[in-house]
Amino acid sequence: MKNLLDNEILQDFLRTPSAILSFLVLLAIIFTSIFAPWLVNQNPFDPLQLDLLNSRLPPVWIDMGVAEFPLGTDEQGRDILAALFYGARLSLLVGLASVTFSFCLGVLLGLLAGYFRGWVDTVVTRLADLQMTIPGLLVAMMLAGVIKTQLPAAIQETVMIYVVILAIGFSDWPRYARVTRSATMVQAGEDYVLAAKVMGAPARTILWRHVLPNVLRANIVIATVGLGIAIMLEATLSFLGAGVPGTTPSLGTLIRIGTNYLFSGEWWTVVFPGLMLILTVFSINILGDWLRDALNPKMEHGHA
Amino acid sequence: MLEIRNLAIEFNSRRGQVKAVQGLSLNVQSGEILGLVGESGAGKSTVGTAIMGLLSAGGQVTEGEILFKDQDLVTLSADALRELRGRKIGMIFQDPMTALNPVRRIGDQLIETIRHALGMSASEARQRALQWLERMGLPEVEKRINYYPHEFSGGQRQRIVIALALCGEPDLVIADEPTTALDVSVQAQILGLIKDLVTETGVGVILVTHNMGVVAEVTDRVAIMRHGQLVESGPTSAILTAPETPYAQMLIGSVPPADKRLRRLPMPDESGALLAATPEAPKSDAGRADILSVAGLEVTYNAGGLFGQRQGFKALKDINFTLKQGMSLGLVGESGSGKSTCARAVVGVAPITQGEVIYQGHNLVGMPEKERRPLRSAIQMIFQDPYSSVNPRMRIVDIIAEPLRFYGIATNKRDIQDRVEALLHSVKLPPEVMRRYPHQFSGGQRQRIAIARTLASKPELIICDEPTSALDVSVQAQVLNLIKDLQDEYGLSLLFISHDLPVVRQMCDDILVLKDGCMVEHAPAEQLFTNPQHDYTQQLLALMPTLGN
Amino acid sequence: MISLFIHKLGQLLFVVLATGLIAFAIFSYAGDPVDAMLGDAASEVERTELREQLGLNRPFYLRFGDFMGQAVQGNFGRSFRSNEEISTLLVERLPATLELVLVAAVMTLVLGVTLGLYTGSHRNGWSRFILSASLLGVSMPTFMLGLLGIFLFSVHLGWLPASGRPGTVDIGWWTTSLLTLDGWRGILMPTMTLAVFNLGLYVRLVRAEVLEIRTTDYIKFARARGLSEADISRHHVLPNALSPLINVAALNIGTMIAFSLITESVFQWPGLGLMFVNAIGFSGFPVMAAYFMLVALMFVMLNLIADILLVVVDPRLRRG
Amino acid sequence: MSELTRNKDWWGTGTPAFPGTVDVVEARPIGNSATRIASLLSGELDLVTEVPMADIARVEKDERFKVEAVPQLRVIFFGYNYLKDKLDSSDADGNPFRALKVRQAINLALDADLIKDRIMRGQSEPTSILSPPGLAGHSLEAAKRPAVDKEKAKALLAEAGYPEGFSVRLDCPNNRYVNDEPICQAAVSMLAKIGIKVTLNALPKDQWGGLVTGKKSDFYLLGFGTPTSDSHFIAGHLLIGGPFHTGYANKKVAELMDQAGKEMDSDKRNAMMAEVFAIARDDAAVAPLHYQMVTWGMDKQLDIPVDPNNLPDFRAAVMK
């Protein structure tokens, strides 16, 4: 790990203001979403804490705004700031979980395909091709749409979020698999792998100890970009009504609900969640962009 | 024609300013070939690109001048420099596989260059292109001018590259390692071609190379560089026979001679004194037991296809040899001859389709992995590329300890530590290196680390697959000496694979020549070098670049 | 080359069969057509009868074969809701989606290649600006962009229509927006929304490709021969960049076909995507299955076209 | 999208009852309400039905448009399932909805006026009975809601044997009635405050409808009106039997309904109906909330009467 983030990369990071800034923004978003319960005095998911009497208040700097709800409230009396923190929490959670899922699945299949070649490779490559043929959004919509009607309503509430995670995660594994596969093929041709084979080490030892640590770099860049895409995909699904249920809104759900008031003057119900979403994804992408350059040995920073 | 005065070049990098070249002065006349030699990091290629005005981004000339026909190239504008490139100064690249645009016909690339340089009409340029291809010795030029680069062999491509570099009729050509990527036989042809062109056209050539044999073969004068500075320069014959500076002496001394076998190559030992270059006779096999014998070996690589239905590729056919205890057998051949496949077959990582590999009475072919494991520790391998043979994500201690743990030779931490330290000592590395990672070491040091790992399981037979071909010549000498030391110390048997005949001569008692997967000749080393029987062997020996007498 | 083609056709067949299987599974297991057709009040006898009639009791492979046979003929059954032939619905809505994607694709490719080449060969303020903008573009969810566009251009400024597909002209069964000014006004915003994300991706990809090619030996060699930068860009960089660009373009257009469902639902563009989103709302499984297969098929066709183009632009694939 | 053209030969053209001057009507279904309003505001449309409450102010503010509304002949209420001995979605033993005190507590907890103010933006008429205004059984007096009283509601729950409240799932459509889902959310919050833990299950109308008519739902939001201007229809469906009847039974109501069905004297019949609705109210058979308004936004140049059943009658539409 120390090797992965060796000093050169840290140095480079400290010399890139955009990377530092986006890192700080992300850190703040993660902090507020983790510690949301202690930062705001309302849990916007708990109906008991909502009061219709507080509904439709504007942000504090506009007439009628109150300090208790700095960014205003929605129609149900939900504190927009609290909703942002809790919503980002769900968005990040779904994003991270689905990226982890596709990362693990893709890297595993890519390792196997790249190392063993032959029929394993054929099967994995075909599956990846197939998966690439069906865009992730569509897979997720289909899965969510079908499951929503097939599951008993009682468990939908709890299950939907896992469905969304799996649907998004499942749609993205081929990218990891492809990169891992070709990186594994390169690594498998390296002499240190041959040395391990000569020693008699079994395939799993070679893959786990030798190949895996050397294919992670490329995957980390993909995962960063993938996180942004996953968060956007979740928001899109929720916006189209095929995502997480409305009672536990993610940023996308907040935007969907807020859209109904876009023209009525209650712009804060959609603008703030929208900004939060864009800010989150933008920061992730800036970091990913920097990481890609920093980890690319060909691109000496500052020139090339 | 070209005169370089007091040149200094610096690069910006993440670590700050790096001096690549310092205080360099050189000159080249028309009709002569100047060899610019040095080991990696000497700055020799940088000089070439600086003359072309094509230093990669971040690099700049900080001092001195490059006078080409009394014009200072350093101060010339970018446009004026471009005017010179191709027309007055040409460049030949190292790797013919990557130097040609893969999606354009070679004719188009030639015609484009000729038109640009000489301002000819399209049809004139085409005629000229055809002439050049013919001159380069390519057959059927009328047809082949419409071919794409991938339709030519490596040697043919390098001829096309040379045609491209020379078709603008430059006065000076910079050839950057023009034969390094090629096989010996092709190398000889290309060098001959360059030499002929110089005689015919009177062009001046700077030949950038690390290969002393190439220098001896074609250059008129030679300049030796080290760490960005000129060490010594003068007529080739003088420098090669009587170098004055210690570095040049060491460099030239470390080139393995092709005509005799030395006990050790004359390198500085721990005290810094040069080892004596005493001749040594090959070992005799009298009274030695067989350690490895290979009979009727055939290796077939699967050509692919889901059900493997297609005809496979036979990499080795009917190979037979025997290696005696404590001796060295050389496997020699050009690329594609199957010599590395043979090594892999012996260590059990190549698909053997026929034949036997008998190690101390056990036939390894088809042996279940469980039974084979104890034998595996006795047969180990040293690899070609020190940058590839150690895992970059592991510490040195873990790399060397891996076989110790794997074979259960040492299990407790203290014991492992001690053994790793001892192994490092035997490859002449200090114990402090244990906690570091491979990227902190040079190629030669990495190769020592790899050798330490090889020794960890106390092997009896070591397969050396081109162990020094990626190393600089002085490092090669050190590593070859080390392998010999270790062989003597532990009584190792070696299967030594190389394309480099002088190296094989230094290391081996018996030699097996391979061509296209078949055995061509198998003879004791002395006999093979002095009295080769087979045409192919004779040809190889004739083309082998040497330092001269 | 012929073997490559056969190989690709084999892949195509595999994808069609696999997506067909998924579509069939959804079609036949997710929504019980008997429920949908008879309602809750029907008796068990009636149900059994209808099952017999629809052939739902036959073994799985026979039904799947039947389904694929029908699908190949373009017959996907009827919508549960409107009882219209789904194939009719598809044909009706296909032009809207295809035009949307087509215009967006042209926009993406032309702008993407131009800006990508520019940023790949220049290091200046403009270049940095384009790169930042493209990064923002790929960080902006399509639906957010659509909403912003509607808010700004329709509501605030009143320049462009916010929804629907105005100004269409019928040419045979094909309805087009591309022949009237109104039509163009209507298609502009949806296509821009659809194009932005992919444009951002494309610019970055083209740039990366150009930078990569610029470090190769053959470009250095071309420079060493004194060729001008313009010639190098035109004759050496671009031809080599084409192959990866074609590959990604195929992928991108495919993605846009899928992403069009977002744009279509934001702008109420009467295309296939909107039909699909609506179908999810009322559990219209036959419609969903048909759309799914159609998109997969279009994707595969695009890849096939890309493969053919690759052979055209890359001589290395032509022989052997 | 569909287009209607005037039948030139129709007898009614130009008669006082049908002063309509519109020759061609283009109907465009736009499901997304934000897009619908944006299209009106950008001038593409002349008339939109179902203006979202949140957008009324915005449309009215624009000089070019006006908003007109009438109460709909439909009552929005929360229905209980009396049929089950044990509610599937509840942690309570038995069926708490069978206890009158529980139902009364719910009535006391629901603040219809606050919902009118905040969620319906004034565009609703709170009620406590099932009969819509203007129909038999409705009067302002009869429809008056009891004052909200959470303490009393809690006490009633305790008396009914649920001092800690209970949990239940509310099945609510999300695209059927005006602000259906927000109403349900508000109700969830209000019921939470007296200890009834409601889980909201918001569904597209097709799926939600199946739960209600299949009598699978424990607790649901439903709107019910009459196409015949006869409130007997409403009471018959909700209190006596049919797909929307979920088990409420009251002997007196049944008798009265039977008699009213045969009664030819309209005064007597009206009195019977008033009694039926009053009994249902006092028995808290369902929890009525309000009548929603039919709200249309239109160009000021357009005159068309707003139809209580939300069906525009273009025979009467005049474009100035």
Residues B376, A198: C-beta atoms closer than 8 Å: yes
Q: Quote the distance between the C-alpha of residue A110 and its chain's center.
A: 21
Looking at the structure, tell me whether residues B193 and B342 fall in a common domain: no
Choose the weakest-confidence range: B143-152, B282-291, B493-502, D159-168. Answer: B282-291
Which residue on chain D is closest to C270 by alpha carbon?
D1
Distance from C223 to chain B by nearest Cα, in Å?
Answer: 8
Give chain A positions within 8 Å (CB) of D186.
52, 76
pLDDT above 70: percentage of residues in chain B: 97
Give chain A positions within 8 Å (CB) of D38.
263
pLDDT at C229 over 90: no
Residue B100: pLDDT band by 50, 70, 90 thresholds? very high
- Mean residue pLDDT of chain A comes to 84
Asked if the structure places residue B358 within a domain, the reply is no
Residues A194, B376: C-beta atoms closer than 8 Å: no
Looking at the structure, tell me whether residues B7 and B140 fall in a common domain: yes
pLDDT at B522 over 90: yes
Count CB neighbours of C83 within 10 A: 8
Note the pLDDT of residue A299.
44
pLDDT at B488 over 60: yes
Give chain C positions within 8 Å (CB) of B150.
315-316
List the single residue in D54, D181, D192 with the smallest CB-CB distance to A246.
D181
Distance from A259 to chain D by nearest Cα, in Å?
Answer: 6
Chains that touch D (3 or more CB pairs under 8 A): A, C
Residues C155, D30: C-beta atoms closer than 8 Å: no
pLDDT at A74 over 90: no
Note the pLDDT of residue B508.
93
Mean pLDDT of D292-305: 90
* Residue A67 at interface with chain D, using a CB cutoff of 8 Å: no
Give chain D positions within 8 Å (CB) of A149.
207
CB A264 within 8 A of CB D58: yes
Q: Residue B304: helix, strand or coil by DSSP?
A: coil
Residues D213, C40: C-beta atoms closer than 8 Å: yes
State the best of D36, D60, D118 to mutate against chain A, taking most chain A CBs within 10 Å: D118
Mean pLDDT of B203-232: 91
Note the pLDDT of residue B549.
44
Distance from A247 to chain D by nearest Cα, in Å?
Answer: 7
Asked if the structure places residue B274 within a domain, the reply is no
- Mean residue pLDDT of chain B comes to 88
Distance from D35 to chain A by nearest Cα, in Å?
Answer: 9
Count of pairs with CB atoms under 8 A, one residue in A, one in B: 75
Tokens of B6: 């007091």
Instruction: List Cα–Cα distances, C104 to B473, C186, C191, C302, in angstroms.
Output: 59, 13, 5, 15
Note the pLDDT of residue C34.
62
Q: Quote the distance between the C-alpha of residue A279 and its chain's center.
A: 13
Which residue on chain D is closest to A149 by alpha carbon?
D207
Mean pLDDT of A119-138: 84
Count CB neighbours of A31 within 10 A: 12
- Domain boundary pick from B253, B272, B299: B253
Mean pLDDT of B70-76: 88
CB C293 within 8 A of CB C75: no
Looking at the structure, tell me whether residues B397 and B527 fall in a common domain: yes
**Helix or strand holding residue B239 (H, E):** helix B236-241
- Domain boundary pick from B211, B233, B253: B253
Note the pLDDT of residue C110.
93
Give chain C positions within 8 Å (CB) of B98.
216-218
Note the pLDDT of residue C39.
54
Tokens of B132: 């050049």
Give chain D positions within 8 Å (CB) of C151.
38
Identify the burial level of B394 via C-beta atoms within 10 angstroms of its C-beta, where 0-12 means exposed, 13-18 middle and 19 or more buried. buried
Note the pLDDT of residue C91.
85
The owner of tokens 């920097």 is: A290
Note the pLDDT of residue D203.
81
Mean pLDDT of A84-98: 92
Give chain A positions within 8 Å (CB) of C25.
none
Mean pLDDT of D105-119: 93
Looking at the structure, tell me whether residues B227 and B92 fall in a common domain: yes
Report angle CA B218, B221, B227 to the nearest 5 degrees: 105
Distance from A194 to chain C by nearest Cα, in Å?
Answer: 29
State the best of A21, A138, A272 to mutate against chain C, taking most chain C CBs within 10 Å: A138
Note the pLDDT of residue A1.
42
Q: pLDDT digits over C72-81, tens only?
A: 777 777 776 6
Residue A109: pLDDT band by 50, 70, 90 thresholds? very high
Looking at the structure, tell me whether residues B203 and B330 fall in a common domain: no
Residue A302: pLDDT band by 50, 70, 90 thresholds? very low
Choose the weakest-confidence range: A23-27, C299-303, D152-156. Answer: C299-303
pLDDT at D275 over 60: yes
Residues C155, A263: C-beta atoms closer than 8 Å: yes
Closest of A81, A51, A254, A247 to residue D189, by C-alpha: A51
Q: pLDDT digits over B223-267, tens only?
A: 999 988 999 999 999 998 888 998 898 888 888 888 888 888 888
Residues A213, B57: C-beta atoms closer than 8 Å: no
Count of pairs with CB atoms under 8 A, one residue in A, one in D: 83
Chains D and B touch (3+ CB pairs under 8 A): no
Which DSSP symbol is given to D115? I
Note the pLDDT of residue C195.
93
Note the pLDDT of residue A247.
67
CATH topology classification for A84-301: MetI-like fold (1.10.3720)
Q: Roughly how many angstroms between the first and final C-alpha of chain D, as a whole number? A: 25
Asked if the structure places residue B275 within a domain, the reply is no
* Residue A190 at interface with chain B, using a CB cutoff of 8 Å: yes
Farthest CA pair distance, chain A = 77
Mean pLDDT of B437-460: 90
Residue A4: pLDDT band by 50, 70, 90 thresholds? very low
Positive/negative CA dihedral, A265, A268, A269, A275: positive
**Helix or strand holding residue D216 (H, E):** none
pLDDT at C269 over 60: yes
**Residue ranges in chain D assigned as alpha helix (H):** 33-41, 56-61, 100-109, 112-114, 140-143, 150-159, 180-192, 205-213, 231-235, 251-262, 266-282
d(CA A303, CA C207): 15
pLDDT at B305 over 70: no
Asked if the structure places residue B133 within a domain, the reply is yes
Closest of B27, B46, B68 to residue B234, by C-alpha: B27
Residue B387: pLDDT band by 50, 70, 90 thresholds? confident
Which DSSP symbol is given to D311? -
Mean pLDDT of B130-147: 90
Looking at the structure, tell me whether residues B451 and B539 fall in a common domain: yes
Chain A interface with C: residues with Cβ < 8 Å: 126, 129-130, 132-135, 137-138, 141-142, 145-146, 149-150, 228, 232, 235-236, 239-242, 252, 255, 259, 262-263, 270, 274, 277-278, 281-282, 284-286, 289, 298-299, 304
d(CA D285, CA D277): 10
Q: Residue C220: helix, strand or coil by DSSP?
A: helix
Count CB neighbours of A35 within 10 A: 12
Domain ranges within chain A, ordered by starting residue? 84-301
- Mean residue pLDDT of chain D comes to 89
Looking at the structure, tell me whether residues B118 and B221 fall in a common domain: yes
Chains that touch A (3 or more CB pairs under 8 A): B, C, D
Mean pLDDT of C301-319: 82
pLDDT above 70: percentage of residues in chain C: 88
CB D1 within 8 A of CB D28: yes
Note the pLDDT of residue D10.
84
CA dihedral C168, C170, C175, C177 (to 10 degrees): -30
How many domains is chain B partitioned into structurally? 2
Note the pLDDT of residue B181.
79
Asked if the structure places residue B311 within a domain, the reply is no
pLDDT above 70: percentage of residues in chain D: 100
Chains that touch C (3 or more CB pairs under 8 A): A, B, D
CB B471 within 8 A of CB B444: yes
Choose the weakest-confidence range: A153-162, B321-330, D38-47. Answer: A153-162
Asked if the structure places residue B273 within a domain, the reply is no
Count CB neighbours of D241 within 10 A: 14
Q: What is the CATH number of the domain that holds B379?
A: 3.40.50.300
Give B365 or A243, the one with higher predicted confidence: B365
**Which residues, in sequence order, are CB contacts of B455 under 8 Å at separation 6+?**
B380, B423, B426, B427, B486, B490
* Residue B100 at interface with chain C, using a CB cutoff of 8 Å: yes
Residue B465: pLDDT band by 50, 70, 90 thresholds? very high
Residue B506: pLDDT band by 50, 70, 90 thresholds? very high
Asked if the structure places residue B263 within a domain, the reply is no
Which residue on chain A is closest to B343 by alpha carbon?
A198
Give chain B positions within 8 Å (CB) of A195.
381, 383, 389, 450, 453
What is the residue range of B171's domain? 2-253
Which residue on chain C is closest to A293 by alpha carbon?
C208
- Domain boundary pick from B219, B253, B287: B253
Closest of D170, D181, D211, D171 to residue D33, by C-alpha: D181
ipTM for the predicted complex: 0.80
Residues C281, D36: C-beta atoms closer than 8 Å: no
Mean pLDDT of B171-175: 93
